[in-house]
Structure 1
Amino acid sequence: MRILFLTGLAMIAFAANSLLSRLALVDGAISAEAFTLVRIVSGALTLSAILMVLQGAKGFYHQWRIGFYSGMCLFLYALLFSLAYTELTTGFGALILFGSVQFSLLGIHLFQGHRFSSIEWLGILVSFLGFIWLVNPSSSTLALWPMLSMLFSGVSWAGFTLLGKRSGAALPATTKGFIVASVISMALIPWVLDTQSITSQGLTYAVISGAITSGMGYVLWYAVVPKISLLSASLSQLLVPAIAMIMGVLFLRESITTENLLSMSLILGGIALTLYQQHRKSAH
Structure 2
Amino acid sequence: MKMLTKFTGGPLATGTFTLLALIAFAGNSVLCRLALADDSIDPASFTVIRLLSGAIILALIILVNRRPQISGQTGSWTGAAMLFVYAVGFSYAYVSLDTGVGALILFGAVQLTMILTGLATGNKIRHPEWAGLILAFAGFVYLIQPRLTVPESAAGVAMMTLAGIAWGCYSLKGRGSLGAINDTAYNFFRTIPFVLVLALVTLDGAYWSQTGLLLAVASGAVTSGIGYALWYIALRNLSVTVAAVGQLSVPVIAAVGGVIFAGELITMRMSLAAVLVLGGIFIVVMSRYRHARMVAREGS
TM-score range relative to shorter protein: 0.7 to 0.9
Kept after mapping to 1: 8 A contact 2:100/2:144? no
Deviations 1:43-88 (A, max 9, x none): 01111121122134xx446448852110000000101111122244
Aligned counterpart, 1:178:
188
> Quick one: which of 176, 183, 190 aligns to 2:200?
190
CA distance in 1, matches of 2:271, 2:260: 16
CA distance in 2, matches of 1:2, 1:131: 26
> Quick one: which of 118, 143, 148 aligns to 2:127?
118
Q: CA deviation at 1:42?
A: 0.6
> Quick one: which of 34, 40, 64 aligns to 2:51?
40
Q: Looking at both structures, which has the greater relative contact order when contacts are Cα pairs under 8 Å and sequence separation is at least 6?
A: 1
Q: CA deviation at 1:244?
A: 2.0
Secondary structure at the aligned position of 1:113 is classed as coil
Amino acid at match of 2:179: A
Aligned counterpart, 1:245:
255
Size of the alignment, in residue pairs?
282
In structure 2, relative to structure 1, the CA distance for the partners of 1:95 and 1:260 (3 Å cut) is: farther
- TM-score normalized by the length of structure 2: 0.73
Bigger helix share:
1
> Quick one: which of 163, 176, 195 aligns to 1:153?
163
In structure 2, relative to structure 1, the CA distance for the partners of 1:39 and 1:174 (3 Å cut) is: same
Secondary structure at the aligned position of 1:82 is classed as helix
Unmatched segments (≥5 aa) in structure 1: none
Amino acid at match of 1:83: Y
Amino acid at match of 1:239: S
Kept after mapping to 1: 8 A contact 2:74/2:187? no
Residue 100 of structure 2 is aligned to residue 70 of structure 1: no
In structure 2, relative to structure 1, the CA distance for the partners of 1:238 and 1:272 (3 Å cut) is: farther
Unmatched segments (≥5 aa) in structure 2: 1-11, 295-300
Q: CA deviation at 1:155?
A: 1.6
- TM-score normalized by the length of structure 1: 0.77
What do you get for the CA RMSD once the two structures are aligned? 4.1
